[in-house]
Structure 1
Amino acid sequence: MERLKLKSNNKFLFRWFLSLAIPVGLQNLLTYSVALMDSIMVGSLGEVQLSAVTIANQTFFLLMICIYGLATGASVLISQYWGEKDTRTIAKVFGIVLRLSLLAGAVATVSVIAAPYQVMAMYTNDHQVIEYGAQYLPLVGLSFLPYAFTNTYLTCVRSVERVKIAVITYSISFAVNVFFNYVFIFGKFGAPAMGVAGAAMGTVIARLSELAIVLVYAKKEQRVKLSFKCLVQNDKLLWKDYLRYALPVVVNEMAWSVGMSVQTSILGHMGVTAVTTVGIISTVMRVTTIFVYGSASATLVIIGKYIGEQQYDTARKSANALVWANILIAGLSAAALLLLKNVFMGLYTLTPETYAALDATMYVAAFIVIMQAIGLSCVVGVFRGGGDTMFCMILDIITMWAMALPLGALGGFVWHLSIPVVFLFLRFDEVVKVFICLWRLKSGKWLNNVTRANKDKDAFAGC
């Protein structure tokens, strides 16, 4: 009977897991497909233009990771409060994170509009690349605030098992982006041929379409309410909880994103070939690992909800099963990357030198995908779902900043190694994290209930 019960529970768990992971994966596919189409369309203009847009988008990448950290930090609280069906507290948490996300979006917007040349010069010393990037940045900066609102809201509603709206939103946005990219990059239907600036224009229009859809949807959503009172009201207890559990996520993600920018800077100073190679590799990895990230996000929601319901033993058993599910999905993703590598490479106009470097780096990327998935399933999924955010922050910062980045810098500038080897060194933190994460998972120290007792929650001001 016990075996039958366990088998039945596992079937329910995996059905639940897939019902969350697949829509989130599709959302990621649509999001990254926008980046892929941008790079393909801009890449047809030349390698210098592609390098310029790749480097210029580092500012958006930093903003994206900042907002992801803010919203995912909120998800640690929201997923557990959803286990208690406490929508009032969920609305308050959303109000806190939305204010912070909009502030981050405003700072990024002002930066790229006021100093586009200085921003580009942080990543490359190639004058042509800087010039094209400076054409792109001021326009694309207008998309930052709409993105901040939309992405924050969709991440929070994901934590209460509302996942279809994101797929609908990004499906429409993808179509809008591709169409207006075509119009403005190449000058179709009477529009001027704007080149890289046209890609920025297409992005702005797509972000505005996302914002419009989400605002309409939010009026009817009851699990994460969009209330002006929630947006402006402060609760000291909730701010304290958010800072305790979400701030480490924000610091974690920002330290990781700055580290990724340092990686880009290291590669940028190795030449256009290195920038183009890793720019394409990064896009391909994002597209082929969409369900890896979706699986980690689904794991967070499930673990958080079980803990909020105080089903601690179920949370522990589910964590082990879900990590294995994540590994399986990662293996399939790595296989897809290698099977489709020639197709991806054929989409770009490349020099023989860049083609050879890209081909070799694809195999390194497939290995990193599997290593990364184990870390993501634990750090982003199980540990954050269990409120173990401080450990995650320390782990990521040490492995990247004390190991991977110094190793990559030595490989690129001192030892003058090939692009594939330098790329492996720069991502070596993913390998180290595997062993530490599996040890932490087995220990069970990651499991924490971050919700407050009912008497404490009664102190929260209502919305």
Structure 2
Amino acid sequence: MKKESLIKNKDFGKELISLALPITLQGIFYASFNVIDQLMTGQLGSSSIAAIGIAGKFISIFSVMINTFGAIAGIIISQAIGKKDKVEEGKGFYSNLFISLIIAIIFISLSMIIPEGIMSLYSVDSQMIKIAASYLRIYSISFIFIAITTMCSTYLRCVDHAKEPLYAGIISMVTNTILNYILIFGFGPIKAMGVIGASIASVLAQLISALILLFYFLKYTAHREISISIYSKLSELKSFMIMLLPLFISEFLWVLGENVYGSIYGHVGTKQCAAMTLMNPIVSLEMGAMTGISSATGIIVGKYLGSNDRARAYESSKKLLKTALIGAVIISAIVALVSTSYVKLFNVEADVRAMSVYIILVFALVAPVKVLNMTLGSGVLRSGGKTAYIAVLDSIGTWCIGVPLGILSAFYLNLPIWWVYFLLSLEECFRLAAGLFIFKSRRWMGQL
């Protein structure tokens, strides 16, 4: 028994590393888009930093919606692979890709037609709104490419080709870095374009990533003979919507809450908004680094549930949660240590830097809880298709705890911005406690 258990542990470790490591590295490289933009435009002053920050809030609505369909596709595909159902595997991919492309077109249209109106929801600073609108109008072109990248990455990970999305991430990151330098600051005959240059660089880099992943997707699906179709029968659509709607609604309400947070920061003041934006690269890197564990969790546990191995699914979940916690604590400690040096990279006022340090230290404190929630919610609980649990937790946490505390602390108590961030982050504690209760009940363990 001990020998068998040791073999299983080794197999589990190999499976986790083969999935989580490439996804983690890809998450870091993907997060680098934001980091590189922030570091380079950070040399242009507080207004440009804050402008990209508020534009990023609206962009995050699109990203979260597309990632939701990516998560649903991952659940369906991983369980279909566990059941060896090629028809369901194909429908899970193509149905979610089709809807994602429609959403991308809608968001591009909004960003092209009324960018100033959208950005005015986040700030009353006319200069910041103008800069943010110009960035959003161009960046929105990449929404089509992001949709393709997300779906192709999800599929490749589910069929044990997690390295290919990593390669695409590396190439697109290098492209983004080079183009950022050339287009933001100017090089040779190319004049400096500032924030506009950053948006153009991001679009081109995302295009390259999408083309690479589309090539790999077509290469590997040619041998798998999956069904090229979408859900069309009433029974299929009903099952799909039962799983999709709770998750979609919860993610939309969650990201809408995050945008309310961004609006709170923006209306408190441009410097406060800039200070919060300086933290974004740190958040992106840590959460991107831990995305590997979360994504691998959904795939590994989903496959066990698909083959009806509930005992192994539960035990694997516990191991993955412990791994995520340890990783988050280590990274948060590093973040806290480098916070003072990090803010010196930006060309901003001294008081903005001081605020940013406090905000980063608060993030380092709450990040382990955030990572556990990400692994538990996005990985474990979703793998069984019981997305309604996540919908309830996210909605209550954001709208009954986070938003009220943010408004109270910012506009009624007039607390410093780092205290505002800390108090609204307390919603994460509620989510974790409730999520662990659901996890231990095992009610989330289902087979599609």
Q: Is the 8 A contact 1:333 1:369 kept in 2?
A: no
Give the TM-score taking structure 1 as reference length. Answer: 0.93
Determine the C-alpha separation between the residues in 2 that align with 1:401 and 1:20: 34
Q: Quickly say closer, same or farther: Cα 1:87–1:162, change in 2 above 3 A.
A: farther
Q: How far did 1:310 drift?
A: 1.3
| 1:427 counterpart = 2:418 | no
Equivalents in 2 of 1:406, 1:224: separation in Å? 53
- The question of whether the paired residues in 2 share the 8 Å contact of 1:109 and 1:144 is answered with yes
Q: 1:225/1:429 Cα in 2 relative to 1: closer, same or farther (>3 Å)?
A: farther
Measured in 2, the distance between the counterparts of 1:82 and 1:151 equals 19
* Aligned counterpart, 1:456: none
Q: Which residue of 1 aligns with 2:306?
A: 308
252-261 vs 340-349, which deviates more? 340-349
1:349–1:196 CA distance, 2 compared to 1 (3 A): same
Mark the CA change 1:162 to 1:443 in structure 2 (over 3 Å): closer, same or farther. Answer: same
Residue 237 (structure 1) aligned with residue 235 (structure 2): yes
The answer to whether the Cα contact below 8 Å between 1:404 and 1:427 also exists between their aligned partners in 2 is yes
Contact preservation (8 Å) 2:92, 2:230: no
Per-residue deviation, residues 408-460 of structure 1 (Å, max 9, x unmatched): 1100000011111100122211111121122111111110011xxxxxxxxxx
Q: CA deviation at 1:225?
A: 6.9
Q: Distance in 2 between matches of 1:232 and 1:86?
A: 14
The answer on whether the counterparts of 1:93 and 1:238 sit within 8 Å (CA) in structure 2 is no
Partner of 1:317: 315
Per the alignment, residue 270 of structure 2 pairs with: 272
Counterpart Cα distance in 1 of 2:152 and 2:357: 38
Give me the whole-angstrom Cα distance separating, in 2, the residues matched to 1:233 and 1:414.
50
Q: What does 1:247-258 correspond to in 2, within 5 Å?
A: 247-258=245-256
Aligned to 1:95: 94
Amino acid of the residue matched to residue 124 of structure 1? S
The aligned counterpart of 1:391 is 389
User: Displacement of 1:276 after TM fit?
Assistant: 1.3
The CA distance in 2 between the partners of 1:367 and 1:79, in whole Å, is 34
- The within-5 A match list for 1:17-96 is 17-96=16-95
Do the aligned residues in 2 keep the contact of 1:408 with 1:423 (CA within 8 Å)? yes
Question: % of aligned pairs identical?
Answer: 27
Q: Which stretch of structure 1 is more off in the superposition, 205-214 or 297-306?
A: 205-214
Q: Tell me, yes or no, if structure 1 residue 295 matches structure 2 residue 293.
A: yes
**1:224 and 1:354, CA in 2 relative to 1: closer, same or farther beyond 3 A?**
farther
Question: Equivalents in 1 of 2:22, 2:426: separation in Å?
Answer: 30
Structure-2 residue corresponding to 1:454? none
How far is 1:283 from its partner? 1.8
1:109 aligns with 2:108: yes
| Aligned amino acid, residue 439 of structure 1 | F
Shift of 1:304: 0.3
C-alpha deviation, 1:339, in angstroms: 2.5
Aligned to 1:8: 7
Other-structure match for 1:214: 213
Instruction: Work out whether 1:119 is the aligned partner of 2:118.
Output: yes
Residues 226 and 137 of structure 1: CA distance in aligned 2, closer, same or farther (over 3 Å) = farther
Q: Which residue of 2 aligns with 1:360?
A: 358
* Post-superposition offset of 1:238: 3.0
Any unmatched runs of 5+ in structure 1? 451-463
Measured in 2, the distance between the counterparts of 1:89 and 1:430 equals 35
CA separation in 1, counterparts of 2:244 and 2:128?
A: 37
Contact 2:73 2:151 in 1 (8 A): no
Whether the aligned pair in 2 keeps the contact of 1:96 and 1:239 (CA below 8 Å) is no
Structure 1 residue 253: deviation in Å? 1.5
Q: Is the 8 A contact 2:76 2:88 kept in 1?
A: no
- Contact kept in structure 2, 1:263 and 1:405, CA below 8 Å: yes
C-alpha deviations, 1:35-69, integer Å up to 9, x for none? 10001111111110111111112222111100001
Mapped contact 1:94–1:224 kept (Cα < 8 A): no
Alignment of 1:104-183 (within 5 A): 104-183=103-182
Q: 1:375 matched to which residue of 2?
A: 373
The residue type paired with residue 257 of structure 2 is: G
Q: 1:413 aligns with which of 396, 411, 414?
A: 411
Spell out, residue by residue over 1:99-119, the C-alpha distance to the aligned partner (whole angstroms, 9 max, x if none): 110011001100011011101
1:375-431 per-position Cα deviation (integer Å, ceiling 9, x unaligned): 122111110112221111111111111111101110000001111110012221111
Tell me if the contact between 1:251 and 1:393 (Cα under 8 Å) persists in the aligned partners. Answer: yes
Q: Where does residue 340 of structure 1 map in the other structure?
A: 338
Give me the whole-angstrom Cα distance separating, in 2, the residues matched to 1:33 and 1:138: 21
Counterpart secondary structure, 1:348: coil
CA 1:138–1:224 in structure 2 vs 1: closer, same or farther (change >3 Å)? Answer: farther
Tell me the CA shift for residue 231 of structure 1. Answer: 4.9
Query: Structure 1 CA distance, aligned partners of 2:222 and 2:340?
Result: 44
RMSD: 1.8
Q: CA deviation at 1:269?
A: 0.6
Residue identity in the other structure for 2:39: I
After TM superposition, the score normalised by the length of structure 2 is 0.96
| Equivalent-residue separation in structure 2 for 1:224 and 1:297 (angstroms) | 25
The question of whether the paired residues in 2 share the 8 Å contact of 1:338 and 1:362 is answered with: yes
Give 1:11 deviation, angstroms: 2.6
Residue pair 2:304, 2:312 contacting (<8 A) in 1 also: yes
| Aligned CA distance change for structure 1 residues 223 and 410 (closer, same or farther; 3 Å) | farther
Partner residue, 1:201:
200
Do the aligned residues in 2 keep the contact of 1:157 with 1:223 (CA within 8 Å)?
A: no
Q: How big is each residue's C-alpha offset from its partner over 1:296-330, in whole Å with a ceiling of 9 and x where there is no partner?
A: 11111010000111111111121112211111111
**Residue type of the alignment partner of 2:268:** M
